[in-house]
Amino acid sequence: MTRKQTTFSRRAVLRHGTVAAGVLGLTVGTASAATTVSGGGDALQSAIDAASDGETLTVVDSAVYDPVTVDAEVTIEASASPTIEGDGGIGAAVGIESDGVTLDGFTVTNPGGLLGVKVERGRDDAAISNNTIEDVGPTGRLGVTGVVVGQGDHSGIEIVNNTIQNLDQETTDDSGFPTVNGVLFDADNSGPGTVSDTTVNNNTIRDIESDIAPLGIVVQHETDGVDINNNEIRDLVAADDTDSDPSDDVDFGFTFAQGINIASPATSETTLAHNIIEDVTSAETILPEAIKVDGDGGGLTVRANQLLVAVGLNNRNGTDNGNRDPSSDPQVDAKNNYWGSPEGPEEADFNQDADDDDRSDVVGNVDFEPFLRNPPGGKGRGPNN
């Protein structure tokens, strides 16, 4: 049976970081079908293949399940502690190929594999919530990622209340550019598409390591109504291991590490708020950055974040017209953030000019005044005015 949703939007609830009791269970009309799943192996994929749109599949045991491809509009939830484990290849442990898919309450792993969960090109209304996505990689090729939203336009994506941890990528001769991403909105450079009405809220992203670049959250699509709020991003380590591993003869000569990277060609109504970004380290040349704007920063609002990294916000390369002259960059609105010191941030011309100390730096055209003198919610004075 097809389930008709009420006009009380689940996304409207989740984008503010709270869930009202009973809201997610409200339906109008005939109730949708419900199926229980157990036994591990291919049992979950078999249930998905047999499901109708609107059906709820509840996994009731703590078994290990094979990777799944979800090509029906279904809710997949857990009442126990099941694991979906990838096959270690270039595919995802969970591939979402339909609109309206919910994945709730699982552990998702892919040891030696590339991807944890992937929302395929152009799919809308995917809800990835209350999962632990861990132990993905290393693969020796390209970007190991916990949750990836693929190319094309997307609307109504919810990545909420997940723990994304223990992702690893190591350099090999055929590795390309071996980054690791907690959450990646992976756009096509020639046609980036737009992500709208989307939330990345209340996630913990931690323990991510790469020989060259660990990244917490990366947005490459154009944005129109995107909230990245209340996330904790920590323990990102860029450590080129060429010296420690003689078999690894690939040396890029630099590393970088970023909590949030905005590489969007255009941004509108995009908010980064109440995130905590700390313990981000880079071994060579380029200092770690809490927020890096590589695209258009003109539509960003950055509020009440704790930017506890050497470079709190770097907008030197962020432009909306491709001009690399930093004086013409759109100004990023980053008022009322905490920069690790009651004195606010220091200003630097380049990443390499910043100081790696307890007081974060800003680079490029950033409006950071007033700033918070204490972490949000702490005692003492807030904005410096």
Residue extents of the structural domains in the chain: 10-286
Ranges 10-24, 105-119, 121-135, 300-314: which has the least confidence: 10-24
pLDDT for 159-182, tens place per residue?
A: 999 999 999 998 765 556 778 999
Alpha helices in the chain (DSSP H): 10-14, 43-50
Give the position of tokens 């060429």.
242
Rounded CA separation 3/9 (Å): 14
What is the rounded distance in angstroms from the CA atom of residue 234 to the CA atom of residue 87? 28
Q: Which helix (H) or strand (E) holds 237?
A: strand 232-238
Q: How far, in Å, CA of 147 to CA of 128, rounded?
A: 9
The pTM score is 0.88
**How far apart are the C-alpha atoms of 158 and 12, rounded to whole Å?**
10
> CA 356 to CA 343: how far, in whole Å?
16
CB 172 within 8 A of CB 137: no
Alpha-carbon gap, residue 130 to 194, rounded angstroms: 25
| 227 burial via Cβ count (<10 Å: 0-12, 13-18, 19+) | buried
Rounded to an integer, the average pLDDT of 85-89 is 96
pLDDT tens per residue, range 48-83: 999 999 999 999 999 999 999 999 999 999 999 999
Per DSSP bridges, beta strands 300-303 and 267-273 are: parallel
DSSP annotation of 143: -
CB 159 within 8 A of CB 200: yes
Contacts of 26 (CB under 8 A, 6+ apart): 6, 8
The HSE-up count of residue 298 (CA atoms within 13 Å, CB side) is 10
Q: Are 32 and 3 in contact (CB under 8 A)?
A: yes
Neighbours of 11 (CB within 10 A): 19
The mean pLDDT of 105-116, rounded to a whole number, is: 97
Task: Tell me the Cα Rg of the chain.
Answer: 21
**Quick one: pLDDT at residue 271?**
98
